Amino acid sequence: MARELRGAHVVVVGASGVLGAAVARNLTNAGARVSAIVRDHSRLDGASVAQYALADVTDHAALRTAFASVAPFDGVVNATGVVAFGNVADLDDTTLATLFAVNAIAPIVMLREGAAHLSDGGFFVNISGVVASQPVAGMAAYSASKAAAWAAMTAAGRELRRRRIDVIDARPPHTETGLATRPLAGVAPKMPEGLAPDAVAARIVAAVVAGERDLPTEAFAS
C-alpha cells in the first residue's frame, strides 16, 4: 500500500548507528517525525530525531516500555544487528546466543511490542541483509540468525495483512557501515567495497512510500 510520509511518526531502532542514522535522516527529509530507540543517546543526530527512548534490544521488558513511551506511531524500522565470523566448528556458545538474541529474537519482539501501537496501514521494516537468503561459508551462524528473522517477517506480514500493515524485510548487499570491523568473534574476510549507507537508506524509504512488501538483494542494484 502506497503511503505518504509527510507528517507520519516513525520509530527507528538503532538510529545512532551508521545505517540507522541514514534511515532517520532520509525519513526526516521525506517529512516524517522520527523517534529513536537506542542504548546510547549521545550519538543521535538531533536534526533527524525528535525524541528518543533508551533500551537494549535484548531486554524485552525495556523494549516494551520504550515502544509505549513513544507511541503511537505509523512505522518502525529496525536497523540494529551484530556480526561474527568463523566456522561453526569454532563457534562458542556466547557468540551463538548473542547473534540470535540480537538478529533474530529482538526483531520479533520489536514487531510484537510495536504492533500494539502501530496505526493501521503502517509499516515495520527489518534490515536482515543479503546473508539471510544467500548464506556464506565462515558466517553460518550469522547467516542463520538473519534467515530466521526473514522467515518471521514473511509470516508476520500475512498475519498483519487485515490491518494493512506492511512487514518489509530488507536484504541489502554488504554495506559500508563499519559493522564488519566490530565482530563478536573472528576476522572479516576481504570483501569488495559495499554500498553507501545513505543509498541503502534511501532505497528502504522509497520502498516504504511505494508500499513494497519485500526488498531482496536485487532491489538494491544501482
CA–CA dist 163, 159 (Å, integer): 9
Whole-number pLDDT of residue 222? 60
In this predicted structure, the answer to whether residue 6 has a pLDDT above a threshold of 90 is yes
Residue range 88-107: average pLDDT?
98
Q: 127 by DSSP, 3-state: which?
A: strand
In this predicted structure, the answer to whether residue 1 has a pLDDT above a threshold of 80 is no
C-beta separation of 215 from 170 below 8 A: yes
Enumerate the domain spans of the chain: 9-220
Whole-number pLDDT of residue 39? 96
Choose among 88, 99, 83, 85: nearest CA to 190: 85
Whole-number pLDDT of residue 108? 98
Please give the CATH topology (third level) of the domain spanning 9-220. Rossmann fold (3.40.50)
Q: CB burial class (10 A; 0-12, 13-18, 19+) of residue 137?
A: exposed
- Percent of the chain at pLDDT > 90 equals 97
CA–CA dist 85, 96 (Å, integer): 11
Task: Give the cell for residue 84.
Answer: 561474527
Please give the backbone phi and psi of residue 16, each rounded to the nearest 5 degrees, phi first.
-90, -10
Whole-number pLDDT of residue 221? 85
Whole-number pLDDT of residue 2? 86
- Percent of the chain at pLDDT > 70 equals 100
CA–CA dist 185, 207 (Å, integer): 33
Query: Sorting pLDDT into bands at 50, 70 and 90, what band is 34?
Result: very high
Residue range 4-33: average pLDDT?
98
Residues whose CB falls within 8 Å of the CB of residue 117, separated by 6 or more in sequence, listed in order: 67, 68, 71, 72, 73
Q: In whole numbers, what is the pLDDT of the chain averaged over residues?
A: 96
Query: Sorting pLDDT into bands at 50, 70 and 90, what band is 97?
Result: very high
